[in-house]
Homo-oligomer: A and B are copies of this chain.
């Protein structure tokens, strides 16, 4: 789910609307209770389920020209539509189980194009053992595709955005800066998230969809903390500078926090420490290195609403 309530205001193209206006209105006044443990404001809604498990529920809707270009392969469009929702389940350390798919197909869509969308969804669903149990299809002038996924998580595994504490380390699951190249073919990090929870008892987690800085700001707001991110510590893919990696969107790596004693274990397991959780009053800031100067990014992350 894209729940943009935590997004910095300056990043928004549509005043008070769009990314967060409607959903925030709809969920305003929502109070967690025994049936709905988490509503708006995290990667998934968390619902009461079985004695030791919660139900996780998310939805994502992709548009031609916004989330993929018109010349993207139909296989990769189908893949991405499901991958984004599975990634939301991963971000809570859950296991995806079932999916529904909804599409609007332009009237000129060919059978082979439709079959390629199907193949993209189907191969990813197979890899993650997600059962597609239904959906809704209509004709529409532009290609629109979305999914809703249900997953489960053991109560002791549930990892929210709200659990980070001052002194925790800020970590990422892999190198950043590949977003543009991989956003149509990424593998959601379900097993990695489970491992992160198991090995380091991660205190908070999110998947990086809008950029390290933007998405850590979401954790910070939900956890009522601040944070320092060190450019020199950000793992980058070849040819990408950390300044770019700081705000690169659609990475779908995991961003998580752990107690400081796990720092060494995080590196040993192949993950990366990129910063430190501070008190709330400090805010969220990036520095060139651990002893260096404040770095001011020109933009804080990927924005689905292009500035006018």
Binding site for B on A (CB under 8 A): 1-4, 13-23, 25-27, 30, 35-36, 39-40, 44-45, 47, 50, 57-61, 63, 65-67, 97-98, 100-105, 107, 109, 111, 114-115, 117-118, 121-122, 125, 131-142, 144, 146, 148, 150, 304-306, 308
Contact = CB atoms under 8 A, between A and B. Distances in A.
Nearest to A146: B102
Most buried by B among A114, A133, A141, A308: A133
A17 B59 contact: no
B66 A134 contact: no
Given A3-B134, A100-B1, A101-B26, A148 B36 contact: no
A137 B19 contact: yes
A36 B130 CA distance: 12
A87 to B, nearest CB: 13
A23 B133 CA distance: 9
Contact of A134 (B27, B102, B146, B306): B27
- For the complex of A and B, 3 pairs with smallest distance between CB atoms: A45-B133, A39-B133, A61-B102
B105 A18 contact: yes
Given A22-B118, A133-B40, A98 B141 contact: no
11 contacts: A3-B134, A13-B107, A19-B138, A26-B122, A40-B133, A44-B134, A58-B100, A59-B102, A61-B136, A66-B140, A104-B144
Contacts of A135: 1, 3, 22-23, 26-27, 40, 59
Given A98-B45, A114-B17, A138-B304, A39 B131 contact: yes
Most buried by B among A20, A59, A60, A109: A59
Contacts of A133: 27, 30, 36, 39-40, 45, 47, 57
A58 to B, nearest CB: 7
A98 B17 contact: no
B17 A136 contact: no
A36 B134 CA distance: 11
Given A25-B118, A57-B100, A107-B305, 16 more contacts: A4-B137, A17-B105, A17-B111, A19-B137, A26-B101, A26-B135, A27-B133, A35-B131, A39-B134, A40-B134, A45-B100, A45-B134, A57-B133, A57-B134, A60-B136, A63-B140
Given A100-B57, A133-B39, A114 B21 contact: yes
A5 to B, nearest CB: 10
A57 B98 contact: yes
Contacts of A306: 139
B57 A1 contact: no
Contacts of A50: 50
B61 A26 contact: no
